[in-house]
């Protein structure tokens, strides 16, 4: 061997060429979410991205594109499947056209506290992970919105007031629920709420105190009826092929950061429920709980929704329900 080649071989062995020939280049990922920067969900995923970068010494960098700036809500999951973007976040119940499993966190009377919502997620997680895997996707974590209630521009005391009322809903089940109450639903993205009100397309809406606060609900409505309908969740997921391209330690760091993000997100949701309710009050809104005939009508509309779901529900969906009921009765 010539002197030069010997030197080269020694340099390779010593790892001196590692800078020019890295074993694996740092990965740059894009992550799309429909929700804006003021949302606690977005704050949580941005923290997650920072945690990942730190834990991997910059080997995996995730850029969060918030507020639907990169991809519209309905295109996020297909885009992550294709691998156009490596990661995304969606409002899980918007996937209800794929399976009744994705509607289970929008059923009234099922999980009406953070504890129950968490149990429901624990029993749903394996099924949903399997369904995502079939599409080449890997869920990372899921975080709930505070429970859903009703925004109106009048004091809501009588179910008859909802008849013919045009109401904004974030998913199909909420639309069905509004129909059951005699209202006229329109599905609108969170970011389109101000326009929907200001152009007179809607008079009321169903969502959480968080979204009401983020969208300055007090500009359009005066009352929030805390009906505590359900705790719907967002789900954050990645393209499985992109995940498989990461080395073992990066994969592990990502999953650890995801577990922390899930825990932190549930806590942020609880805190946001309190602070957003306070913000609504500070802006002059009235928050009340439904009573009497109104409460009875809301319950009846909810029962009808659950009954319809039962008829649509397939085996995996019903299994989640029965597992959930077992866990709840064991509490
Ligand atoms: N905010 C989102 C989803 C549920 C919620 O509380 C929205 O209304 O679009």
Are the CB atoms for 224 and 151 separated by under 8 Å? yes
Q: How far is the CA of 322 from the centre of ligand 1 (A)?
A: 27
Q: Ligand 1 within 6 A of 93 CB?
A: no
pLDDT score, position 183:
98
Tell me if 42 is assigned to some domain: yes
Q: How far is the CA of 221 from the centre of ligand 1 (A)?
A: 16
Tell me if 221 is assigned to some domain: yes
Looking at ligand 1, which residue's alpha carbon is closest to its atom 9?
190
Q: What is the pTM of this model?
A: 0.92
Are the CB atoms for 209 and 273 separated by under 8 Å? yes
Q: How far is the CA of 211 from the centre of ligand 1 (A)?
A: 6
Q: Give the domain CATH number at 320.
A: 3.40.190.170
The length of the chain, given as a count of residues? 331
Enter the tokens of residue 236. Answer: 């954050």
Q: Ligand 1 within 6 A of 208 CB?
A: yes
Q: How far is the CA of 18 from the centre of ligand 1 (A)?
A: 48
Are the CB atoms for 45 and 236 separated by under 8 Å? yes
Are the CB atoms for 225 and 217 separated by under 8 Å? no
pLDDT score, position 132:
98
Looking at ligand 1, which residue's alpha carbon is closest to its atom 8?
207
Tell me if 14 is assigned to some domain: no
pLDDT score, position 278:
98
CB-facing half-sphere around the CA of 260: CA atoms within 13 A: 15
Q: Ligand 1 within 6 A of 190 CB?
A: yes
Tell me if 127 is assigned to some domain: yes
Classify 69 as helix, strand or coil: coil
Q: Which of 245, 310, 322, 267 is nearest to 41 (CA)?
A: 267
CB-facing half-sphere around the CA of 304: CA atoms within 13 A: 15
Kindly report the number of other CB atoms within 10 A of residue 318's CB atom. Answer: 15
Give me the tens of pLDDT residue by residue for the chain, a chain 331 residues long: 444 444 444 544 444 444 444 556 799 999 999 999 999 999 999 999 999 999 999 999 999 999 999 999 999 999 999 999 999 999 999 999 999 999 999 999 999 999 999 999 999 999 999 999 999 999 999 999 999 999 999 999 999 999 999 999 999 999 999 999 999 999 999 999 999 999 999 999 999 999 999 999 999 999 999 999 999 999 999 999 999 999 999 999 999 999 999 999 999 999 999 999 999 999 999 999 999 999 999 999 999 999 999 999 999 999 999 999 999 999 7
- Domain holding 88, by residue range, is 26-330
Q: Ligand 1 within 6 A of 231 CB?
A: no
Atom of ligand 1 nearest to the CA of 208: 6
Atom of ligand 1 nearest to the CA of 205: 8
Tell me if 9 is assigned to some domain: no
Tell me if 293 is assigned to some domain: yes
Q: How far is the CA of 160 from the centre of ligand 1 (A)?
A: 25
Number of separate domains in the chain: 1
pLDDT score, position 24:
65
Q: Ligand 1 within 6 A of 149 CB?
A: no
Tell me if 19 is assigned to some domain: no
Looking at ligand 1, which residue's alpha carbon is closest to its atom 6?
208
Q: Ligand 1 within 6 A of 145 CB?
A: yes
Q: How far is the CA of 282 from the centre of ligand 1 (A)?
A: 21
C-alpha R_g of the chain: 23
Atom of ligand 1 nearest to the CA of 206: 8
Are the CB atoms for 118 and 328 separated by under 8 Å? no
Q: Ligand 1 within 6 A of 29 CB?
A: no
pLDDT score, position 23:
56
Q: Measured between alpha carbons, how far is residue 164 from residues 168, 172, 251, 301, 307 in Å?
A: 13, 18, 51, 15, 23
Looking at ligand 1, which residue's alpha carbon is closest to its atom 4?
207
Q: How far is CA 276 from the centre of its chain?
A: 18
Distance (Å, rounded) from C-alpha 224 to C-alpha 71? 31
Report the residue among 170, 189, 210, 280 best suited for mutation to probe ligand 1: largest number of ligand atoms under 8 A from its CB: 170
pLDDT score, position 25:
77
Q: Ligand 1 within 6 A of 232 CB?
A: yes
Report the residue among 117, 148, 213, 221 best suited for mutation to probe ligand 1: largest number of ligand atoms under 8 A from its CB: 148
Tell me if 4 is assigned to some domain: no
Q: Ligand 1 within 6 A of 105 CB?
A: no
């Amino acid at each position: 061997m010539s002197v030069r080649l010997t030197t080269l071989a020694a340099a390779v062995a010593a790892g001196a060429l590692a800078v020019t020939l890295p074993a694996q280049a740092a990965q740059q990922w894009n992550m799309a979410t429909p929700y804006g920067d003021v949302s606690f969900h977005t704050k949580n995923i941005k923290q997650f991205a920072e945690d990942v970068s730190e834990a991997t010494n910059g080997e995996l960098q995730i850029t969060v594109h918030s507020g639907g700036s990169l991809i519209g809500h309905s295109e996020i999951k297909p885009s992550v499947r294709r691998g156009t973007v490596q990661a995304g976040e969606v409002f899980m119940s918007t996937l209800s056209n794929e399976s009744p499993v994705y509607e289970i966190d929008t059923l009234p009377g099922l999980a009406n506290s953070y504890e129950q919502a968490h149990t429901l997620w624990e029993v749903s997680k394996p099924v949903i992970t399997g369904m995502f895997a079939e599409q080449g996707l890997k869920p990372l974590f899921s975080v709930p919105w505070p429970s859903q209630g009703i925004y109106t521009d009048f004091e809501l005391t009588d179910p008859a007031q909802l008849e013919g009322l045009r109401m904004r809903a974030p998913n199909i089940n909420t639309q069905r629920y509004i129909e059951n109450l005699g209202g006229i639903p329109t599905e609108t993205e969170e970011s389109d709420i101000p326009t929907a009100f200001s152009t007179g397309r809607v008079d009321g809406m169903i969502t959480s105190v968080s979204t009401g606060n983020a969208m300055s609900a007090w500009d359009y409505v005066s009352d929030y009826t805390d009906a505590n309908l359900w705790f719907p969740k967002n789900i954050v997921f990645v393209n499985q092929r992109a995940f498989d391209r990461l080395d073992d330690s990066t994969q592990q760091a990502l999953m650890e950061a995801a577990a922390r993000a899930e825990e932190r997100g549930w806590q942020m949701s609880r805190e946001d429920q309190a602070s957003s309710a306070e913000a609504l009050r500070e802006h002059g809104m009235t928050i009340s709980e439904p009573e009497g005939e109104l409460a009875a009508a809301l319950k009846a509309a909810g029962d009808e929704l659950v009954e319809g779901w039962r008829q649509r529900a397939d085996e995996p969906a019903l299994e989640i329900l029965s597992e959930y009921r077992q866990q709840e009765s064991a509490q």
